[in-house]
């Protein structure tokens, strides 16, 4: 039995959404909703020595269900940023902007000057007694390095409630202290802020703690161009997994949406990927150690085969052998690699030589379908079909082979079959490895749906038949597209794909009903 949150009477009934708070009646639940609403989530905050604070599901979570929708505590320019408007955080042109009449920071226009977010650095700069004068616009500008840290430091003045939450976030200051990154941040931010703003409001310790909290908890938010950084309170408690169970989307105004692409069982820890799930394990591990200061031990990272996909493997050096090379030790990607069939070992230098050439060629390659085919043909000598470099080029190929419906209708059959093949393989691969990379998966599903629809059209023309099974397959993938992209705003390309996918879905349903 539990106690009613209003009258303390014993009851068996709990809030069906969060499964944590009890009510003896519907009336008491409605009465308490105003105060309970902000904390009514299908998870609780737990704590242990290994993970620290983390989120645990308090009930079964259904596929596509929103788990958390949250406004940022603070948002601002990335630490390495070109000059941007200090209001909307979008890039500005040298001859198409204004400067704040109080502080001199660049702005898009008068409407951005009035935004609350600009007040923090505006008042601090005005108190400095000299306006900012940004003259260089062709690349990262050093002045912007400190802006988001300043906004974090001034939360106590601009938003005390958010300041209190920000102070609760982990900064890993003691772990970071003395590292090369910490020393660089001390020079460019910790020592720069007091000198540039001519202020003693913040101690070096306060500044460096804010820098750490921002780097450890910051999220890249793509609602501006370039993307900006934001800190979310509750979302910061999600743990890392390279096969996470939560996807991350953003509203037009930069609020974070965490949702479940697949069902999550009660008692499961809620996770997002702190790195990039489409990277290979060595790159993810390196990035996490550099930016978040820990080594991931999720199910994917402790398995050198990456859940049986061999996503980072190389083909054996012996051309007569069909085996694959992988690290001898799952926790040492920089050590020797060994063929899993003939047991031949190679040094990491051999592996690096292949991978460095492969990435260099991708970066320098003019992005055309013809060049993509040449790349795939060349590197299949060393890389297995699902390797991350080949997969990256195949994603490009799916998009480049017929960029719109008109091109698709006149595409040679051979290339249409390759588009179908690549798209199916990629969806199958990433639904295993990166099930929460919903923008990529949604886009691939739309491309596959379109290619299947075109193939169906050609079959129907040649045989005077309407292949219902093919239409149903096309419908299957456009429905998956809608599911994957359903929370994407129309300010993104994926949001526009979602609109078209819904139109195509409804049209296909009608065709199938009457066929």
* Nearest by Cα to 271 from 485, 18, 57: 57
Cβ atoms of 485 and 498 within 8 Å: the answer is yes
* Nearest by Cα to 81 from 181, 229, 216, 287: 229
**Other CB atoms within 10 A of residue 67 CB:** 22
Alpha-carbon distance of 499 to 490, in angstroms, equals: 8
Alpha-carbon distance of 105 to 57, in angstroms, equals: 44
Contacts 24+ apart (CB under 8 A), 442-445: 442/480, 442/481, 442/483, 442/484, 442/485, 442/488, 442/494, 442/497, 442/498, 442/501, 443/399, 443/481, 443/485, 443/494, 443/497, 444/395, 444/398, 445/477, 445/478, 445/480, 445/481, 445/484
Question: In the chain, what is the straight-line distance between the N-terminal and C-terminal CA atoms, in Å?
Answer: 56
Distance of CA 229 to the CA centre of its chain: 12
Cβ atoms of 326 and 313 within 8 Å: the answer is yes
For residue 243 the two structure tokens come to 């096969």
pLDDT at residue number 3: 84
pLDDT at residue number 317: 93
424 Cβ partners below 8 Å, 6+ apart?
448
* Nearest by Cα to 497 from 512, 483, 510: 483
Supply angle C-alpha 280, 284, 287, rounded to 5: 145
CA distances from 50 to 68, 235, 238, 296 (A): 24, 18, 13, 12
pLDDT at residue number 464: 66
pTM reported for the whole predicted model: 0.92
pLDDT at residue number 50: 84
200 Cβ partners below 8 Å, 6+ apart?
194
Alpha-carbon distance of 63 to 150, in angstroms, equals: 40
- Per-residue tens of pLDDT for the chain, all 515 residues: 788 887 887 887 888 788 878 888 888 877 777 777 777 889 999 999 888 899 999 999 999 999 999 999 999 999 999 999 999 999 998 888 999 999 999 999 899 988 888 988 999 999 999 999 999 998 999 999 999 999 999 999 999 999 999 999 999 999 999 999 999 999 999 999 999 999 999 999 999 999 999 999 999 999 999 999 999 999 999 999 999 999 999 999 999 999 999 999 999 999 999 999 999 999 999 999 999 999 999 999 999 999 999 999 999 999 899 999 999 998 899 999 999 999 999 999 999 999 999 999 999 999 999 999 999 999 999 999 999 999 999 999 999 999 888 999 999 999 999 999 999 999 999 999 999 999 999 999 999 999 999 999 999 888 766 688 999 999 999 999 999 999 999 999 999 999 999 999 999 999 998 87
CA distances from 45 to 13, 41, 92, 213 (A): 21, 10, 41, 19
- Residue 241 is classified by DSSP as -
| Alpha helix ranges (H) inside 382-437 | 388-400, 405-409, 413-433
**DSSP H or E stretch at residue 11:** strand 10-11
Cβ atoms of 183 and 111 within 8 Å: the answer is no
């Amino acid at each position: 039995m539990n106690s009613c949150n209003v009258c303390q009477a014993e009851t068996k009934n709990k809030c069906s959404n969060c499964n944590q708070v009890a009510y003896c009646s519907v009336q008491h639940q409605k009465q308490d909703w105003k105060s309970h609403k902000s904390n009514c989530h299908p998870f609780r905050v737990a704590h242990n020595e290994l993970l620290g604070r983390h989120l645990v599901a308090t009930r079964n979570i259904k596929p596509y269900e929103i788990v958390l929708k949250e406004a940022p505590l603070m948002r601002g320019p990335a630490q390495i940023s070109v000059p941007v408007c200090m209001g909307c955080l979008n890039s500005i042109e040298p001859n198409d902007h204004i400067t704040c009449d109080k502080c001199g920071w660049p702005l898009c226009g008068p409407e951005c000057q009035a935004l609350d977010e600009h007040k923090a650095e505006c008042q601090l700069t005005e108190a400095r007694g000299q306006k900012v004068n940004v003259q260089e616009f062709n690349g990262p500008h050093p002045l912007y390095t400190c802006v988001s840290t300043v906004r974090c430091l001034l939360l106590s003045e601009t938003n005390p409630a958010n300041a209190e939450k920000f102070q609760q976030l982990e900064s890993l200051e003691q772990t970071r202290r003395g590292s090369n990154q910490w020393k660089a941040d001390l020079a460019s931010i910790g020592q720069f802020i007091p000198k540039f703003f001519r202020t003693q409001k913040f101690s070096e310790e306060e500044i460096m703690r804010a820098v750490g909290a921002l780097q450890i908890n910051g999220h890249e938010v793509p609602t501006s161009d370039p993307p900006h950084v934001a800190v979310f309170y509750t979302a910061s408690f999600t743990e890392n997994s390279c096969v996470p169970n939560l996807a991350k989307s953003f509203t037009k105004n930069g609020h974070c949406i965490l949702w479940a692409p697949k069902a999550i069982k009660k008692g499961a820890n809620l996770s997002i990927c702190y790195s990039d799930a489409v990277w290979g394990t060595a790159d993810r591990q390196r990035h996490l150690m550099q930016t978040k200061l820990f080594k991931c031990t999720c199910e994917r990272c402790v398995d050198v085969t990456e859940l049986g996909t061999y996503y980072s493997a190389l083909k054996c050096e012996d051309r007569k052998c069909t085996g694959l090379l992988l690290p001898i030790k799952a926790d040492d990607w920089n050590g020797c690699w060994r063929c899993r069939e003939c047991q031949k070992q190679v040094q990491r230098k051999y592996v690096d030589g292949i991978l460095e050439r492969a990435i260099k060629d991708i970066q320098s390659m003019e992005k055309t379908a013809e060049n993509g085919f040449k790349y795939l043909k060349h590197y299949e000598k060393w890389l297995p079909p699902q390797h991350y470099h080949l997969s990256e080029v195949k994603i490009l190929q799916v998009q480049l082979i017929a960029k719109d419906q008109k091109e698709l209708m006149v595409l040679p059959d051979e290339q249409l079959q390759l588009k179908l093949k690549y798209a199916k393989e990629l969806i199958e691969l990433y639904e295993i490895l990166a099930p929460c990379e919903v923008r990529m998966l949604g886009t691939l599903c739309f491309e596959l749906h379109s290619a299947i629809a075109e193939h169906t059209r050609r079959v129907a023309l040649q045989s005077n038949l309407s292949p219902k099974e093919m239409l149903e397959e096309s419908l299957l993938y456009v429905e998956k597209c809608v599911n994957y992209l359903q929370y994407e705003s129309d300010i993104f390309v994926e949001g526009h794909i979602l609109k078209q996918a819904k139109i195509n879905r409804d049209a296909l349903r009608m065709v199938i009903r009457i066929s």
